[in-house]
Structure 1
Amino acid sequence: MNELLQNMVANIKILFLDFDGVLHPLNCEKENLFCKIHYLERALEGASSKIVITSNWRLTYSTQKMRELLPRSIGELVIGATEVINEINHKRFIEIENYLSTHINSSSIDWRAIDDSPQDFPTDCKNLICCNPISGMGSEEQIQIAKWLKN
């Protein structure tokens, strides 16, 4: 990541985004993919934030392709995707820490993860906004993200 982008990212908030169980219910039909994304769009309205994708979709699609699959208002906020780390405990949390240390070089970055897999994070992780995988993101998670972005 170039120095300009590093400086820009260091001064904003980063949302680490999962897709399945968040932007749509887990195991939903293809026609319902991203059916919950309007909650994320509302939460991010007018905020200075960036998105890093943690979804397993990153195993199949390039970051650019994932940007294109998302609505423009969300896709243009995507700055990258985490690398897969083969850990047994707290897998997503470790992937996020690795991304921050590798790409941002700032331990003081303000971040949140929205995910449906709490087992992939430490039990006391204050940065996790957890969704119900059966329903996906809703107004409660939208409010949590919006409050975080306003602080």
Structure 2
Amino acid sequence: MSLVLFLDFDGVLHPLHCHESRHFSNLELFEQSVRSINDLQIVVSSTWRLSRSLEQLRERFSQDVAKRIVGCCPPFRSLSDVPPSLVGYEREAECRAWLRANAAPWTLWLAVDDSPWLFRPFSKNLLVLNKRTGLDAAACVELRRRLNGVSP
């Protein structure tokens, strides 16, 4: 059984609203955190997916991690069957739509994001990061703990 990680970029792989020169400044930490997780698939949930192709997004990552990036979430505006319980939670609706279209409904998943209001409150499938730092060393420890905790 595989595990799906929904990945935001801004506020995760680099601080939110940082200068372009700092984009992906946390990428190495992220890659180190996910490399040892077997059967991990990564799906881009970041708004970067709206203006770049999947191949352009993969180019930001090391080759071994890029191979694990299997797709992007559909944009909320394109969804036609959003359950009423997810109408106010766009990112979670996008993640769940990707799961319905690409995986079994019981697939284990985790979203890493700095915008908790885009997910239902108290979601056990969400790791919320500090948007000012993104994925720092302490967040990496928690990410690995959560990934290992949900891995089969």
TM bucket by the smaller chain? 0.7 to 0.9
Which residue matches 2:108? 110
Write the mapping of 1:1-150 to structure 2, written as runs, cut at 5 A: 11-48=1-38, 49-86=40-77, 89-104=88-103, 106-150=104-148
Give the secondary-structure state (helix, strand or coil) at the position aligned to 1:16: strand
Q: After TM superposition, give the deviation of residue 88 of structure 1 in Å.
A: 5.7
Q: Which runs of 5+ in 1 are unaligned?
A: 1-10
The one-character-per-residue Cα deviations of 1:1-48 (angstroms, maximum 9, x if unpaired) are xxxxxxxxxx11110000001000111111111001122112112211
- Contact 1:41/1:73 (CA < 8 Å) preserved in 2? no
Q: 15-24 or 78-87, which moves further after superposition?
A: 78-87
User: Runs of 4 or more off by more than 4 Å in structure 1?
Assistant: none
Length-normalised TM-score, structure 1: 0.87
Identity %: 29
**What is the CA RMSD across the aligned residues, in angstroms?**
1.4
SS in 1 for 2:123: coil
For normalisation by structure 2, the TM-score amounts to 0.86
| 8 Å contact kept, 2:35–2:65 | no
Question: Secondary structure of 1:69's partner?
Answer: coil
Q: C-alpha distance in 1, partners of 2:142/2:32? A: 12
